[in-house]
Structure 1
Amino acid sequence: MNKLVSLLLSCLFINPITHAKADNWFADTPLQSSYSALSADQTLLAWQELQLSLSQNQINEHYWQPIKDAVLSKTQCGKQLISSVSLPANIDVSFINKNSVNNQGYQIKISTEQVTQPLILELFDENNTLLVTANIPLPTEEYIEFESNDLLSTPKAGIYQLSINNVRYPLVISSFTNTTWVRQSTDQTSKSFIVTPPENKIACAPAVMNWQWFDEQYNQIGKHISMQLTPVMPITSAATDNNLQYAAKRPAATPSNATWLSAVVSQFEYQGEVKVEYIQRFSLPISRIETYR
């Protein structure tokens, strides 16, 4: 049993002498079955029980996130979470926090590739509210993306349902805006952004940090550019693995048709065959950037 699971279980074991049920090591809560499955090294069962518990109960993320982390750590970041639903395409679901100098918003995006049959995708939140729809009438190998309308508030952590040709595929979505991953430097003349990457998840890839150029209609121009990062000392406390900050200097050259420059920090996981991505993006108009060149 790896260290993450051992720590999780050590925090949740209950003394059987004082518990009402002497033969049960775990508190009688909606998450009891997930804890029991993890302790028995039944990772897939623990995941299925977590999905079921979240679909039937209102549970604070603080209590179920350690279970999700433990499951991802034991399944190659979720790639080994098999499902009875066979996917007719490569499907990504992205949760996006969009920031600029004057406003903030949220959006959800579904993207597909290698679609092998007509496909209708619908994403519902825990209240069964339809958030975004994708309709692909013919098979295609091309990359296609579908975006929701702007959301007024951050997507809540919890259970979501991805309908794939009317078959539900549950997704356990985590919070991703509790900390700021990217922001503009307070010293605007430094031509840099401050990046505080999210903590790495065991068995998952590190966060990805890129620059992206966009035109007036917010269509991406060219490919993304990897950020070159320089460590800086956090203002509030000594540097640790959880609060390392970096300065990311803006690209020197600007495409002639660019209107926006975005600093993008993203982190992803898999839930079976579905890739789930969390993105924070900070955008500046080119006119503002040129002021400080």
Structure 2
Amino acid sequence: MNYKLIATDMDGTLLDEEHGITSENVEAIVKVQKEKGVKFVLASGRPSYAMFEYAKELQMDKYEGYVLAFNGGELIDMKTNEVIFHEGLGKKDIENVYKVSKEINVPMILYVGDTIYGTEATDGVMYETNQCKMKFQKFDSLEDLEKKGIDKTTKCMIIGTPEEVLMAEEHMNKVHGNDYFIAISKPIFLEIANKNVDKGKTLKKLGEIENIKPEEMIAVGDSANDKPLLEYVGMPVAVENAIPEIKSISKFISTSNVKHGLKTTIEEFFEF
């Protein structure tokens, strides 16, 4: 098969434990774009703001790659910086997540521009803020958010211990299971996004724009929020450190995120 597109998750897949891209991965990704004309896509739950630096390191602006941010809530053309697609949450949705967060007493955050707004500045919340290289502002109530002029976001997260996050997932599914896309992306993160949005649906939109069929795509992932992405493409790939659910739907198991899983994948499916 002549593959035309590679989409990869970031945390736990492309990035190593220091949240960097190994030089081996960078070299392989630049090479496959340059020599094979492959479209490269970063597909992450991260905000777009926290992905641009990595995209530029991979020369995606030069080779016309795409950033698929917020689990598919936003799609950006790296060459033109144009937002091609955006679908998020409104005021009522923020209110719903806030109520659940208060009921179970676990903090929530939401993203606006370069700022993360959160109910508490816990270690987990600040970890996400720092990892995304964003600013942090605390909000004490829905009225407080309203005063700040915030009535929409691309996604919300509930952040706590793995036990709290499982409890939050159960609670969200019970109360709003049919209303949102709800997925654990890391044991301490529960992501809540527009139900019409996931990585697979947005990749489908991109395929239609670029005239690339699902069978001409490779996707690499490790977590539950990567499932729609891997289910959409012809060649689903799991990194060695992926959860069992992701491995079970993959056709190829690559090396781990710390052993250059993307390089291994590229070498498996492309001849140079």
TM-score by length of 1: 0.23
Structure showing the higher helix proportion among its residues: 2
Structure showing the higher strand proportion among its residues: 1
Larger radius of gyration between Structure 1 and Structure 2: 1
